[in-house]
Amino acid sequence: MNTIYMVHPNNHLTKLDKFTIPNLESYKTALDSQINKLTNYNSKTSVEDRLLNYKQVEKNYIGAYLNILKLLEGVENCCTTDGCYDYEQEDNILNSIEIEMIEFKKNELKLKELKSNATDVVEPRRESIIKVEEDMVENVETHNVEEETKS
């Protein structure tokens, strides 16, 4: 299996493996629960509104990135069983990625705008990405330990 890398929004490479997508999905789910908690909070102030808005935009941002990674996974399937490469399927995947990139960029711009307007309220995006990457490393290390114990 070829290794696929995707340039992460903060210009880091993300290795697309069996841990990348599940970790991003769990992060997106965590953002969902934070949004629900903020939505159900009884006495909203403008600070909570801004934080809620930021979390929703961040969730959409992560979701768009996740969609791109899932589409990118499909590139591996372009090599057919008879050894031929299906360029038409690859073109379809790349066209889909192009469409998702528009949504991704739109959310990225909204996120930057919200950050510049409310730096006191909004947690830095870099810390969120580092947290996701740390979780991914922990999952890989845990998986490696499990593999070693099985051997």
In this prediction, residue 124 has a pLDDT band, given cuts at 50, 70 and 90, of very low
> Does residue 97 carry a pLDDT above 60?
yes
Helix (H) or strand (E) holding 3: none
> Does residue 119 carry a pLDDT above 60?
no
- Secondary structure of residue 115 in the 3-state scheme: helix
Cα pseudo-dihedral 20, 26, 31, 34, rounded to 10: -150
Q: What percent of the chain has pLDDT over 90?
A: 0
Whole-model pTM above 0.85? no
Judging by beta carbons within 10 Å of its beta carbon (0-12, 13-18, 19+), is residue 55 exposed, middle or buried? buried
Over its C-alpha atoms, the chain yields an Rg (Å, rounded) of 18
